[in-house]
Amino acid sequence: MTTIFASINSISSVWENVLYRSQIREAKLEHPPIFIIGHWRSGTTFLHELMVLDPRFTFARTIDCLLPNQFLHCGDFIRKYLGFFLPSQRPMDNMAAGWDRPQEDEFALMNLGAPSPYLSIAFPNHPPVCSEYLDFEGVPSDELERWKGTLMEFLRRLQIRDPRRIVLKSPTHTGRVKVLAEMFPDAKFVHIVRDPYAVFPSTVRLWKSLNVTQGLQSPNHEGLEEYVFSSFKRMTGAFERDHEALGQGRLCEVRYEDLASDPLSELRRVYEELDLGEFDEALPHFEQHIAGLKEYKTNKFDLDESTSTEIERRWAPFLRKYGYSRKPADVAESHLNDSSATVETSG
């Protein structure tokens, strides 16, 4: 079945490239993109789904990312008639899924042929691949240029579909700030962080669920916790090394806990620090979305003593910088209630 669909996709992509070759080549970004970055399970999805409610912005949809070289000519047909191919909820949590939902552009890059750490999902029992693409350390210059070209091609395709300002979200971009800032000198970045004692078990759960549902092997999950530890250190280390070069007005940092407890105040601060336009124009859209999250329930994890100690030891610089302290063994992810807009996210 995989071979059959791969063949159909290849033929379809050739047809789209023929139809849109000149448009893709000539398309320009109308506005500098906005990048939402942060480690997986830090709240990037929650923040992304809020910000793209602003009618002045557009985003990469799931269909754009899963079919990045086909959505221009057959996206509407697939969205209308083939919605049953996607589950109504994501496998790692209770959040909604669908062709029109915001999605990580990393999936589009991978599907366009760019090397990506996400390729490890296909064969989870093999050693992780393409980890160097988390921060581009050790990536040859010619390969880096190809990666940049792939990203630009995807963004041009998005602009053909919708010329509004693009808001992108991908945890994998966290360690790529230097390259992205060079590519887009006027781009803005929103970096969201979250308590590592919640992030760690939630990220382990994320990879386990993706390996089971998307992998081509029955996963044994060996080495998974070590991969989470090392990837976190690699991504956050690159971010700390490079983000100061962005300059004033290009980066805003957000704590997930603050966003969850008072999302409107935090969103207003993001808009003001990054000069994203009049906040009150988008306010009714934000309020309506947040009101619908009141009954959302999130996951709960048990964190053993040895894992807590290892988090404290290996992620100490992050803990100190963002003011997080050690938690008891029972780690609960925040719940929504009548006075909170907390939501469990993938990012």
Q: Any bridge partners for residue 302, and if so which?
A: 330
User: Mean pLDDT score of the chain, rounded to an integer?
Assistant: 87
Tokens of 342: 């907390």
202/344 Cα distance (integer angstroms)? 10
* For range 216-220, the mean pLDDT: 95
Residue 142 has what pLDDT? 98
User: What are the pLDDT digits (tens) for 146-189?
Assistant: 999 999 999 999 999 999 999 999 999 999 999 999 999 999 99
User: Quick one: CA dihedral 235, 236, 239, 241, positive or negative?
Assistant: negative
Q: Is the pLDDT of residue 240 over 60?
A: yes
Instruction: Look at the domain 21-332 and name its fold.
Output: Rossmann fold (3.40.50)
Place of tokens 């669908």: 98
Residue 344 has what pLDDT? 37
pLDDT above 70 as % of the chain: 80
273/276 Cα distance (integer angstroms)? 8
* For range 100-114, the mean pLDDT: 95
Residue 88 has what pLDDT? 56
CB atoms within 10 A of CB 325: 9
DSSP code of 127?
P
Residues 6+ apart with CB under 8 A from 191: 37, 38, 174, 239, 243, 251, 252, 253, 254
Residue 346 has what pLDDT? 44
* For range 280-299, the mean pLDDT: 83
253/117 Cα distance (integer angstroms)? 25
Q: Are 44 and 36 in contact (CB under 8 A)?
A: yes
For β-strands 57-59 and 300-302, DSSP reports them as unpaired
Q: What pTM was estimated for this model as a whole?
A: 0.88
Q: Among the listed ranges 50-59, 93-102, 161-170, 244-253, which one has the minimum average pLDDT value?
A: 93-102
* For range 246-273, the mean pLDDT: 96
Distance of CA 197 to the CA centre of its chain: 20
Confidence of residue 347 (pLDDT cuts 50, 70, 90): low
29/179 Cα distance (integer angstroms)? 17
Q: Can you point out the beta strands (E) in the chain?
A: 34-37, 57-59, 165-169, 188-193, 251-255, 300-302, 330-332
Tokens of 208: 């386990």
**What does each C-alpha distance from 184 to 6, 30, 32, 151 come to in angstroms?**
33, 12, 6, 11
* For range 237-255, the mean pLDDT: 94
Residue 334 has what pLDDT? 45
pLDDT top residue among 220 and 85: 220
pLDDT above 90 as % of the chain: 70
Confidence of residue 17 (pLDDT cuts 50, 70, 90): confident
* For range 289-296, the mean pLDDT: 77
Residue 82 has what pLDDT? 61
User: What are the pLDDT digits (tens) for 34-83?
Assistant: 999 999 999 999 999 999 999 999 999 999 999 998 888 776 666 665 65
